Amino acid sequence: MPSKFVTPTFSNETTQGSLPLVEGTIGPAAVDIQTLFTNHGILAFDPGFRSTASCKSAITFVDGDNGVLLYRGYPIEELAEHASFTEVVYLLMHGELPVNDQLSGFKKDLLYYSLLHDQVMSFYRGFRRDAHPMAVMVGVVGALSAFYHDSMDTQNPEDRQRAAIRLIAKMPMLAAASYTYSIGRPQRYPNSQLDYASNFLQMMFGLPYREYVVDPVLARAFDVILILHADHEQNASTSTVRLAASSGANPFACVAAGIASLWGPAHGGANEAVLKMLHEIGSVENIPKALARAKDKSDSFRLMGFGHRIYKNFDPRSRVIQVQAKKVLEHLGIDDPLLEIAMRLEEIALQDEYFVERKLYPNVDFYSGILLRAMGFPTNMFTAVFALARTTGWVSHWLELQGENHGIDRPRQLYVGSPRRSYPSKS
């Protein structure tokens, strides 16, 4: 990490100079390159943004070398143990935990905006009934921008708050409907007596003719899943939302872009991929074969749920989720052979030179699939659950960005194509 007393210098045949360092509250300093092109005519080259701080943000801090994740300064382990998801939503959006009657007021707002316009339900009928829930969510969340566009002024802080709450409040019914539609079950409405997590569970699993009885162990486990996935600073989907939002685009459309980015197997789609992989491995005896494949560079197989762009140590969320997975399986009396395979796989991989050298540890997705499966979620809903939780992060970053008035984002490139040439003469 550069010391704050060192100013990075650079030179080539035509230009030379030095650049100032800027520091955040905690974490590495950053070289401020904002004037690099205007003052020196050169660009910074950082494909994949591995060394680029794309913005200032006061929401979430990740220290990947030490396995630390803080939401507004609070460690994720403490929030997962003591807070409710609704408190975490408030914290991420507003910067502080709710005090006095702020939480009850916030819950009322979330409930007030939780219903979907009945016309939105007709969008679902346009999809094939076997469509992937993420495909449906990209479409339906984007379509919400058609409902709330003319009435919203992104320059008005009150309108922004309302749009933010609408997105978070409507997402449980939107996600649940992408599942109930696929199985042909009528969609239930939010229940004013239930909290955010329980409400989603009843809309997802409740039957139209019977009262849904909330299992407190499952409800708490789901609340924890939501807390753990709520935000993770400038990941691919959040950066997508910020980039889209920098043009002043409608927030519902921006979040639809975030959902599209989250869907990929290298990001939120990994939890689904982990279960598929564990199924394929099939038994503890086959683990060495799977590990050999993961290490073989001529084979595209990767150990899903292992490795992380930022964490080069344990992902702190994976420990919390492993505890919840065991708790729920025990509570439900489920003896899942996939859990045994996962735990053995983790144990063996963490002693394997290949994984140790490359600092590949289990990430949050390694156990979340097992937990969601035990709770009754079909595999293709795993990433939709992630999207439900991450909406809070996307919305919080959207609010932060709108408050800054920082103009449209426009990355540059290192052009490696043909130099200028003339169109060939046809004669």
Can you give the length of the chain in residues? 427
Contact 231, 60 (CB under 8 A): yes
Q: Decide if 267 is catalytic.
A: no
The answer to whether 363 contacts ligand ACO (rule: CB under 6 A) is yes
Contact 59, 233 (CB under 8 A): yes
The answer to whether 266 contacts ligand ACO (rule: CB under 6 A) is yes
Among 92, 173, 294, 375, binds ligand ACO (CB under 6 A): 294
**What tokens appear for 320 in the block?**
């919390």
Interacting positions 267-286 with ligand ACO (CB under 6 A): 267-268, 270
In terms of CB distance, is 195 or 365 closer to ligand ACO?
365
Contact 230, 85 (CB under 8 A): yes
Binding residue count for ligand ACO, defined by CB under 6 A: 18
Rounded least distance, CB 309 to ligand ACO, Å: 4
Stretch that binds ligand ACO, among 21-29, 126-134, 149-157, 359-367 (CB under 6 A): 359-367
In terms of CB distance, is 309 or 326 closer to ligand ACO?
309
Interacting positions 39-58 with ligand ACO (CB under 6 A): none
Rounded least distance, CB 372 to ligand ACO, Å: 14
Stretch that binds ligand ACO, among 152-160, 218-226, 334-342, 361-369 (CB under 6 A): 361-369
Q: Is the dihedral of CA 82, 88, 91, 92 positive or negative?
A: positive
Contacts of 126 (CB under 8 A, 6+ apart): none
Rounded least distance, CB 371 to ligand ACO, Å: 14
The answer to whether 319 contacts ligand ACO (rule: CB under 6 A) is no
Contacts of 249 (CB under 8 A, 6+ apart): none
Among 141, 203, 244, 303, binds ligand ACO (CB under 6 A): 303
Rounded least distance, CB 88 to ligand ACO, Å: 17
Tokens 């964490």, located at residue? 311
The answer to whether 356 contacts ligand ACO (rule: CB under 6 A) is no
**What tokens appear for 29 in the block?**
């300093």
List own/partner pairs for 414-423 with CB under 8 A and 24 or more apart.
414/43, 414/45
Contact 202, 188 (CB under 8 A): yes
**What tokens appear for 297 in the block?**
């560079």
Q: Is the dihedral of CA 216, 220, 225, 227 positive or negative?
A: positive
Tokens 């390159």, located at residue? 33
Q: Decide if 365 is catalytic.
A: yes
Rounded least distance, CB 137 to ligand ACO, Å: 17
DSSP label at residue 420? P
Among 306, 361, 382, 394, binds ligand ACO (CB under 6 A): 306
Q: Within a 13 Å sphere around the CA of 326, how many CA atoms are in the beta-carbon half?
A: 8
Among 172, 251, 258, 307, binds ligand ACO (CB under 6 A): 307
Catalytic residue among 308, 315, 352, 397: 308
Q: What are phi and psi of 335, to 5 degrees?
A: -110, 90
In terms of CB distance, is 195 or 272 closer to ligand ACO?
272
Give the distance from CA 272 to its chain's centroid: 14
Would you tell me how many other CB atoms lie within 10 Å of the CB of residue 136? 23
**What tokens appear for 223 in the block?**
């609340």
Interacting positions 67-96 with ligand ACO (CB under 6 A): none
The answer to whether 345 contacts ligand ACO (rule: CB under 6 A) is no
Rounded least distance, CB 285 to ligand ACO, Å: 20
Rounded least distance, CB 282 to ligand ACO, Å: 18
Contact 164, 251 (CB under 8 A): yes
Q: Point out the residue whose Cβ comes nearest to ligand ACO.
A: 307
Among 142, 251, 305, 369, binds ligand ACO (CB under 6 A): 305
Stretch that binds ligand ACO, among 65-73, 103-111, 276-284, 358-366 (CB under 6 A): 358-366
In terms of CB distance, is 84 or 363 closer to ligand ACO?
363
Stretch that binds ligand ACO, among 79-87, 139-147, 202-210, 264-272 (CB under 6 A): 264-272
SS3 state at 69 = strand
SS3 state at 253 = helix
Rounded least distance, CB 393 to ligand ACO, Å: 11
Give dist(CA 316, CA 321) in Å, integer. Answer: 9
Q: How far is CA 302 from CA 10, 173, 189, 342, 355, in A?
A: 38, 34, 40, 14, 11
In terms of CB distance, is 110 or 230 closer to ligand ACO?
230
- Site residues, ligand ACO (CB under 6 A): 266-268, 270, 294, 302-309, 358, 360, 363-365
- Positions annotated as catalytic residues are 308, 365
